[in-house]
Structure 1
Amino acid sequence: MTYSISNHAKERYAERVMNRQNIIDIRKFVNDHDDDIEKWINELIEHGDKVYIGPLKDKNCVEVYLNGLWVVIAGPTKKVVITLYKIDFGDDEVNELFISKMRSKIDYAHEAIEFAIENSKDQVASYQEMINSNNEEIRYQKQNIKNMEEMNEAYETLIDNAQTDVKNKKRNLQKIVEQLTCKQEF
């Protein structure tokens, strides 16, 4: 997979790999060697190791590649190289020791994640069964509730029907009383 290279990463290449010091020299080098820079950075990724994919500080999700002393940070969705830099503490032995120690820590962290995933599988499956059982019971109870609500609506209709006779009798009484009180002539 070929990555596109951000202008920032190209400029960092010119600055950090080709030792261009000022912005004019950096931009001229990028303009003159754009294709070569893209090819070199993609080869760096291709021959490197992806050591991380996930959030990193203020970035939502990135891929981090390590190739020798070089670190390349890319956006995984659009496959764009964001930046790159070389580990350089001014001493080759210190650089190699740092990379070796960091690789060991990263490898150990990946192993710990795999171990945790494997250990949690049985618990996750057990809890998922409980969730599924609860969801089935919830569906059953919701259907019972719906049935009870429908029954209550039917009872309300029956209550209204039962009270209709009372209402009719009261209306009849009202008419009789109106005949008694509201008529001027008999």
Structure 2
Amino acid sequence: MDGETLARVGYLAIILVALGGWVMVEFRQRMGQALRMGLAWGLIFVGIIAGYGLWSDIRRDVMPIQEVAASGAVEVPRSADGHYYLTLVINGTSVPFMVDTGASGMVLGSRDAERLGIDPESLAFRGQANTANGVVRTARVSLDTVELGPFRNENFGAFVTEGQLDQSLLGMDYLGQFRMEFDGAKLVLRQ
């Protein structure tokens, strides 16, 4: 043990001795109650540690994620809100999308565009798109690489919206390259 680790262990031991001494003085007439409280807090601590350790297993139920099946198909579970969400890797950066079969193009929100190194201030917003929130202006961009599991596209065209878009949308110009099947509570994409 180096000096710093030894000092930390000593400091922790002093804190534990002080806390233990306080418990002994405070509960000297009620030692049974002190033991019950200590046991309760110990179980709470163990429960938190177990929850943390099991989070990777629980996460699949709480926040479903896409998977690549052995056949090479991409399987996307339906989220609790009824939508399907895919994460594409664009130019090496993971970008979450909501599957929108009513959208014609791949639409990036300004925050996602900035994460990809696209400066929305430098874009010429010459196009328009009709959305559920009205008409928004759009700018066309080209994405060097777009990857979904084993599938890869190069120089793929997309749009960046001028207005606020909380969630980037994955439209039919991208989804059209796949055979889409809705199998119960999941979407299956195959080429």
> One fold, TM greater than 0.5?
no
- Which structure has the larger Rg over C-alpha atoms? 1
* Higher RCO (CA < 8 A, seq sep 6+): 2
TM (norm. structure 2) is: 0.22
Give 1 or 2: higher strand fraction. Answer: 2
